[in-house]
Structure 1
Amino acid sequence: MTEGLNHLLVAPILLPLATAALMLLLGEGRRGLKAVTNVVSTALGLVIAVALLLDVAGRDAPAAFGIYLPGNWSVPFGIVLVADRLSALMVVLTGCVGLASLLYALARWQHAGVYFHVLFQLQLMGLYGAFLTADLFNLFVFFEVLLAASYGLLLHGGGGERVRAGLHYITINLVASLLFLIGVAVLYGVTGTLNMADIAQKLPAVPASDRGLLHAGAAILAIAFLAKAGLWPLNFWLPPAYAAASAPAAAVFAILTKVGVYAVLRLWTLCFPADAGASAGFGGGVLVWGGIATLVFGAVGMLASQQLARLAGYSVIASSGTLVATIGFDAPALSGGALFYLASSTLAGCALFLLVELLDRAREVEAGPQQVDDGNYALPAFFDAEPPPGTNLDDDEEALIGRAIPAALAFLGLTFTVWAMVTAGLPPLSGFVAKLTMLTALLDLRTPAAWTLFVLLILSGLFAAMSLMRVGMRHFWTTQDRPPPRLRVIETLPIAGLLAASLAMVLQAETALTYTRAAAEGLHAPDLYINAVMGAQPVPRAAGGAP
């Protein structure tokens, strides 16, 4: 990575931090100025993230790393920020989800609380930092930052349901954070370092007498990550919490579970590769079968859900289960498809949570007693008489000829159909490309676990299609007695933007898959990451001690 872009590595963290501080200085008023500042900062963060990704994507695998030492200390003693293909992808996804959720919130949700914009920026700071940091201590710090902000965003808007769900959410995450801290302490006691590359480098030298303690620390740390990722049976809190949150908060939460998945993927491939001796593949079976159980739980939950918000929450669980299961196979080809699926499912989850409120709003709008044409064009007078033979009739035996679909209803129907197809993995959209790539890779593994996941990926798609079809029928086939909902442009724009991003993944599927496969190959060749991080050197200090 070029020297200039190396310095940009810290920008996604400092930019939201500075923006949050500025908005705090503005006080409780000036919400219009805060909104503009928030949008500009979030959009600029996305631009920086895309620049990092393009720079990483344009380089060969051994050189596809950006390393930045904020304190200019030698590795592994100081803070290290690293951008490789995986972290760059996650940072871009964070920027996309963040910008879409923020634009949607400008319509009404920004007015539901005083500190929405501050909490939103702190949430982005925690997400960016978690994906870019290269040591466990700072990973813990950024986890706590994003979780603290998510507590406020979950409760944003008030209400008894949010408070109840928020208490469960806060409790499980506090317990997970405690386990995180214990696991980090155990690993530090065994290895004497918290830098992830340094830990991976020292693991083969851990004596046999400390190997059990090492595995115990790794297992405790994994429980913390998997609880945040929504792994069964640690995910009981997720559907009610995500369903209770406001639409923009839930949309941001679509990527929160992926932070846990990212941490497991990063540390497991780095510390327990096939050449790790006695620790090779430690916990791989748990990841595979735990992910499969989570996928089953999510798919059945989607089928049983009567509310669209809970259905969207279970779809997040199903996607997390799929990703966790693929990690445990330690297969680069499968991981490449899984990373493509990660991007597709994150965009779909964000869009579904934004659509939830709009679709529920459409169901809540009741026709007034004086309403005649149900929001459509009025029918000509000659239709008051008996319609001619062969005319299509509605349930009230009124002619359908000449009626137009309201623009709001058409938009909701089209976008819901597309995102339902993406979530279910139906062709020709990005969800289908991702699942087809994973299914092809599973066929080559030829193991009972691979065959099980192969079948479940197909069945989960069928369950998702059935569930979403039922929801679509309820929302779009029984609307004759309701006027169309009123949608603001600022509410439809982010959903359309996410749709455009998903379609771009399909149109550029070969390029996107090439990127994700290269990212997977880098993950399964941990020496590249270790050598890049451990080989980073501080900037030489000039005469007189100034750096």
Structure 2
Amino acid sequence: MNLDWTRHLVILPVLLPLLCGALLAPLTQGRHRLKFAASYGAALLLLVNALALVYFSDGQWSGSVGVYLAANWAAPFGIALVADRLSSMMLVLTAVLALCALHYAQPRWSRIGVHFHSLFQFLLMGINGAFLTHDLFNLFVFFEVMLAASYGLVLHGYNVARLRASMQYIAVNLVAALMFLIGVALIYATTGTLNMADLAARVPGLAGPDAGLLRTGVAVLALAFLVKGAMWPLGFWLPTTYAAASPPVAVMLVLMTKVGAYVILRIWLLVFGMEAGPAAHFGYDALLWGGMATIVFGAAGMLATDTAGRMAGYAAIVSSGTLLAVIGYGEPLLVTAGLYYYLASTIAIAAFVLLIELVDRIRTPGAAMLALTMEAYAVEDMPAEPKGKGVPAAMAFLSLAFAACSLTIAGLPPLSGFVAKFGMFHALLQPHADGGAIGATGWSLMALVILSGLVAIVSLMRFGVRTFWATETVGPPRLHTAEVMPVAALLAASVVLTIQAQPVFSYLARAGADIHNPRLYIDAVLGTAPVPGPAAQEVAP
């Protein structure tokens, strides 16, 4: 039996950025074009590979699950990487955001310091590994790779505000890493395994003290994920970090916030689904009510701040809270709409954090100097302002892009944010899987989603009026095409999501059906045998 060549595609999202980052690390400061070309080329290959995984996982592979056994050790003893519809979709989203962030960083931000591109590639390695791994300890390893790279990137182009925010960010995530290890240790002590499929197979048989210890370990582990997922009150660090980070780094932080929600979705539906016996639906209520509290916190933060960077951070908190509440509600149809919202909100907030720096250039002379950029210029190797021809109709582009971001984040028509929220409302109003109708909890969730959207549009339009209408501008801002194209590409992706909502929802429905079927993963991972070595050849005397 030989390994199908398509299964090797599963490990490439980890290997490509690892090799690229290692090769870029020795390059000196003056090799900006070479480093950008290599990093951008690796991101393009990641996108092609992710699209191929989407194709193969959507019906080409048996069971729609591709399993790669690293070092050819069978699960649960070896490292298993698993690509299905959901993880492949997340890899596509990661590659798209990475390409946009690198493109935006090319004229200026990637030239500060020597190791921007190496750290960026190691960050991609950690994120991709977190999406693909099917083992809790290796999930911890990939989380630490992701966080270690993000520590350097958050400090990138350092200034006082960025140093202060990064110290808070590092301290919080170090505590979360400790909780991660404690949770993993408790789970292993109880079940004797860290492979997610094997864990899902063993949980239904646990009872008594073992079941209680497992719940304790899972609760501690969940706290580590919820720190990254910014559930209230664990997400206090996020707005400050978003506001202080450079724009291309903030784009990846938007995605990293969603990694926590992704892991919660993956583990809870796999391990604590309907087949988990006495542990079925453990923690769902905490996710639901915690997510709803997070929506309230994020909406209040958006209304209270007038700083665009912090506004983006609170918008990400609202988005994360909505996803956690959707997971906790536990309806498969709602999870499908939540996955669409996952895509739409991530793309919209990523476009918004890139747009903030460009919008600030049209303000009054004092504000237009951009304290962030000015302090970054204090670094000796900071390059000058990007040169080149100004983008025609720059003011029109900025205002239309801001309006599109605002409508999508708030969930108003006609863009993908509205489609996502309409899909969630439709799912909430449908009869439940057990035949019951929507209750007070469902109505409360709907009300919070609607109110958070109203708060978002009020806050964003207030900022827009002050920026575009109530400010005397020096003249049309000069925008570099490398800065405009990523914003335009992300907004175009939002438009495509809107126009192609039906096939996207259809794909996400299949992905949702997969993750609600734990037996599919258990059989695929534990049933994949190692590839036997070549048979010994008899040598004639």
In the superposition, the TM-score normalised over structure 2's length comes to: 0.91
One of 394, 398, 403 as aligned partner of 1:417: 403
**1:27 to partner: Cα distance:** 3.4
Any residues of structure 2 matched to 1:40-119 within 5 Å, and which?
A: 40-59=41-60, 63-119=63-119
Pick closer, same or farther for the CA change 1:108–1:186 going to 2, 3 Å: same
Any residues of structure 2 matched to 1:232-247 within 5 Å, and which?
A: 232-247=232-247
| Contact 1:366/1:482, CA 8 A, preserved across alignment | no
1:497 corresponds to which letter in structure 2?
Answer: A
1:195-243 deviation digits (Å, cap 9, x = unpaired)? 0000010111223221110100010000110011000000110000110
**1:191 to partner: Cα distance:** 0.8
Any residues of structure 2 matched to 1:155-170 within 5 Å, and which?
A: 155-170=155-170
Taking the aligned partners of 1:118 and 1:280, their CA distance within structure 2 comes to 43
> In structure 2, what is the equivalent of residue 451 of structure 1?
443
> In structure 1, what is the equivalent of residue 285 of structure 2?
285
2:491 corresponds to which letter in structure 1?
Answer: L
| Contact 1:75/1:534, CA 8 A, preserved across alignment | yes
**1:524 to partner: Cα distance:** 1.2
Any residues of structure 2 matched to 1:127-166 within 5 Å, and which?
A: 127-166=127-166
Secondary structure of the equivalent of 2:494?
helix
> In structure 1, what is the equivalent of residue 420 of structure 2?
434
| Contact 1:366/1:483, CA 8 A, preserved across alignment | no
Secondary structure of the equivalent of 1:80?
strand
1:417-453 deviation digits (Å, cap 9, x = unpaired)? 1111111111121111110010111123512221110
**1:57 to partner: Cα distance:** 2.4
Taking the aligned partners of 1:409 and 1:4, their CA distance within structure 2 comes to 50
Structure 1 segments, 4+ long, off by >2 Å, are 2-5, 25-29, 57-60, 364-368, 478-482
Identity across matched positions, percent? 52
- Residue 504, structure 1, aligned to residue 496, structure 2: yes
**1:31 to partner: Cα distance:** 1.7
Taking the aligned partners of 2:80 and 2:145, their CA distance within structure 1 comes to 18
Secondary structure of the equivalent of 1:440?
helix
| Contact 2:362/2:473, CA 8 A, preserved across alignment | no
Taking the aligned partners of 1:243 and 1:367, their CA distance within structure 2 comes to 16
> In structure 1, what is the equivalent of residue 380 of structure 2?
none
Pick closer, same or farther for the CA change 1:367–1:46 going to 2, 3 Å: closer
Any residues of structure 2 matched to 1:355-434 within 5 Å, and which?
A: 355-365=355-365, 407-434=393-420
**1:358 to partner: Cα distance:** 0.8
> In structure 2, what is the equivalent of residue 7 of structure 1?
8
| Contact 1:289/1:449, CA 8 A, preserved across alignment | no
Aligned length: 507
| Contact 2:17/2:124, CA 8 A, preserved across alignment | yes
1:503 corresponds to which letter in structure 2?
Answer: V
> In structure 2, what is the equivalent of residue 268 of structure 1?
268
**1:333 to partner: Cα distance:** 0.1
Pick closer, same or farther for the CA change 1:363–1:534 going to 2, 3 Å: same
> In structure 1, what is the equivalent of residue 183 of structure 2?
183
1:357 corresponds to which letter in structure 2?
Answer: E
**1:58 to partner: Cα distance:** 4.0
1:98-129 deviation digits (Å, cap 9, x = unpaired)? 11011000021011221111111111010000
> In structure 1, what is the equivalent of residue 522 of structure 2?
530
1:307-359 deviation digits (Å, cap 9, x = unpaired)? 11100000000000000000011111000000000011111111111011111
Which entry has the higher C-alpha Rg, 1 or 2? 1
Of the structure 1 ranges 210-219 and 440-449, higher mean CA displacement relative to structure 2 is found in 440-449
| Contact 1:337/1:438, CA 8 A, preserved across alignment | yes
> In structure 2, what is the equivalent of residue 33 of structure 1?
34
List alignment gaps of at least 5 residues for structure 1: 369-404
1:182 corresponds to which letter in structure 2?
Answer: I
| Contact 1:35/1:106, CA 8 A, preserved across alignment | yes
Taking the aligned partners of 2:306 and 2:152, their CA distance within structure 1 comes to 27
> In structure 2, what is the equivalent of residue 202 of structure 1?
202
1:277 corresponds to which letter in structure 2?
Answer: G
Taking the aligned partners of 1:8 and 1:324, their CA distance within structure 2 comes to 30
List alignment gaps of at least 5 residues for structure 2: 369-390, 433-437
- Residue 218, structure 1, aligned to residue 218, structure 2: yes
| Contact 1:288/1:324, CA 8 A, preserved across alignment | yes
Pick closer, same or farther for the CA change 1:316–1:193 going to 2, 3 Å: same
Any residues of structure 2 matched to 1:476-487 within 5 Å, and which?
A: 476-487=468-479
One of 445, 451, 470 as aligned partner of 2:462: 470
Secondary structure of the equivalent of 1:226?
helix
Taking the aligned partners of 2:477 and 2:483, their CA distance within structure 1 comes to 12
Of the structure 1 ranges 317-326 and 356-365, higher mean CA displacement relative to structure 2 is found in 356-365
1:114-171 deviation digits (Å, cap 9, x = unpaired)? 1111111111010000000110011000000000011011000011111111111001
Taking the aligned partners of 2:4 and 2:164, their CA distance within structure 1 comes to 49
Secondary structure of the equivalent of 1:362?
coil
1:352 corresponds to which letter in structure 2?
Answer: F
